[in-house]
């Protein structure tokens, strides 16, 4: 990709983004139907001399950005003047993604209409889960938990056998497979819901799919699959969640740094989507996750949450995982993960209001109520 177009419906200036928005917006502040736009990484050219009112240039050279607020009508007229160059194509695609109807994930016998936000229930078959719910290879307990989650309203069950908490040590392929595959197989036979495998190891993914799994949830965004993507992955229809993570779980929280966390996470996900599609994965299979808590400080996480709507510009469903995370603990002053559910539900509801279509949760019953209220608020 040549450059990046960060677009979102205007929601006020309190968060201080876009930079210098108050200065460039002028009398536009408070008007309805405005969009906040940032253009980064685009080469200088004649287009800079034809910026609409409300946009301004910030920085110069490789650090040049165009930022500001403008209406949809002004944006569309500018797109017409830009012609068919790379900037016009990408900006037009981004705007169209924001205006499109909510997508439908359809594969095999499954169909998830994301006009209704969906709940992904977390099942950790690990001894060291950050959230305190690890079941340590107990197939019976994991299956019982999954059945209960479905009864409470879960739309997807996500089974993981390797902790990704900060400081976690990697486990072997054999150990992870022994934890995950029996649970996936049992749940696939017992519940009428798609079962997701939370893994970044191709061997575990393939075995879980063969056992009845229906979704791949990869915190490493398929970067762990060296060389060309395997034929079993390319030939499948299963959705694939691509998540952003800076570093690896063992060290990711030691000193996470970004110059611009929203732009960098967006750019990473855009690049991973492009790479996957270029290797033959159908774009309609992909879901993106900004990776809250994965190589990010609390300030980074909050910035991503405040501007979650930006990620709708990728044209793909957004998955949000905030349940029981340290960010919630910090906000509500609660050290015990299992007592962070109320704060988690508030963030889940705010995430849905900001465009998240799948929410990964531990307490399904509470999250279902919070998400239902958020959805009702939007009607």
E strand map for 237-347? 240-243, 286-289, 319-321
State the catalytic residue, choosing from 38, 185, 357, 360.
360
User: Are 54 and 24 contacting, i.e. CB atoms less than 8 angstroms apart?
Assistant: yes
Which residue, 16, 21, 221, 9, is CA-closest to 94?
A: 9
The yes-or-no answer on residue 325 being catalytic is: yes
Which residue, 295, 296, 291, is CA-closest to 322?
A: 291
Dist. CA 239–CA 289, nearest whole Å = 13
The yes-or-no answer on residue 201 being catalytic is: no
User: Are 328 and 293 contacting, i.e. CB atoms less than 8 angstroms apart?
Assistant: no
Question: How far lies 1's CA from each of 39, 84, 215, in Å?
Answer: 13, 16, 27
Instruction: Decide the pairing of beta strands 319-321 and 110-113.
Output: unpaired
Dist. CA 160–CA 215, nearest whole Å = 12
DSSP 237-252: ---EEEE--SS-TTTT
Dist. CA 145–CA 328, nearest whole Å = 23
State the catalytic residue, choosing from 324, 325, 357, 368.
325
Residues with catalytic roles: 325, 360
């Amino acid at each position: 990709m040549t450059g990046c177009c960060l677009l979102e419906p205007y929601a006020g200036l309190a968060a201080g983004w876009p930079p210098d928005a108050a200065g460039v917006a002028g009398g536009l502040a408070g008007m309805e139907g405005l969009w906040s736009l940032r253009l980064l990484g685009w080469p200088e050219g004649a287009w800079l001399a034809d910026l609409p009112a409300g946009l301004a240039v910030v920085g110069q050279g490789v650090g040049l950005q165009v930022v500001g607020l403008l209406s949809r009508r002004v944006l569309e007229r500018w797109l017409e003047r830009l012609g068919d160059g790379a900037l016009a194509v990408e900006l037009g695609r981004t705007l169209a993604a924001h205006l499109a109807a909510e997508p439908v994930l359809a594969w095999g016998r499954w169909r998830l209409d994301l006009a209704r936000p969906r709940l992904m229930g977390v099942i950790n078959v690990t001894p060291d889960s950050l959230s305190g719910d690890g079941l340590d290879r107990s197939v019976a307990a994991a299956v019982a938990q999954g059945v209960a989650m479905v009864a409470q309203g879960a739309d997807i069950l996500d089974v993981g056998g390797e902790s990704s908490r900060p400081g976690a040590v990697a486990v072997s392929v054999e150990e992870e497979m022994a934890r995950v595959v029996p649970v996936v197989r049992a749940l696939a036979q017992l519940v009428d819901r798609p079962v997701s495998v939370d893994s970044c190891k191709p061997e575990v993914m393939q075995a879980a799919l063969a056992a009845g799994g229906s979704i791949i949830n990869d915190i490493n965004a398929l970067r762990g699959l060296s060389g060309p993507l395997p034929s079993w992955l390319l030939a499948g229809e299963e959705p694939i969640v691509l998540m952003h993570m800076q570093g690896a779980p063992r060290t990711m929280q030691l000193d996470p740094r970004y110059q611009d966390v929203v732009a960098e996470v967006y750019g990473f996900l855009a690049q991973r989507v492009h790479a996957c599609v270029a290797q033959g994965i159908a774009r309609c299979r992909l879901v993106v996750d900004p990776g809250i808590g994965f190589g990010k400080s609390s300030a980074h996480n909050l910035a991503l949450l405040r501007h979650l709507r930006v990620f709708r510009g990728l044209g793909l469903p957004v998955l949000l995982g905030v349940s029981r995370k340290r960010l919630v603990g910090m906000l509500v002053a609660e050290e015990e993960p299992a007592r962070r559910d109320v704060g988690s539900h508030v963030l889940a509801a705010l995430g849905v209001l900001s465009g998240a279509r799948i929410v990964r949760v531990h307490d399904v019953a509470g999250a279902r109520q919070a998400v239902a209220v958020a959805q009702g608020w939007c009607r």
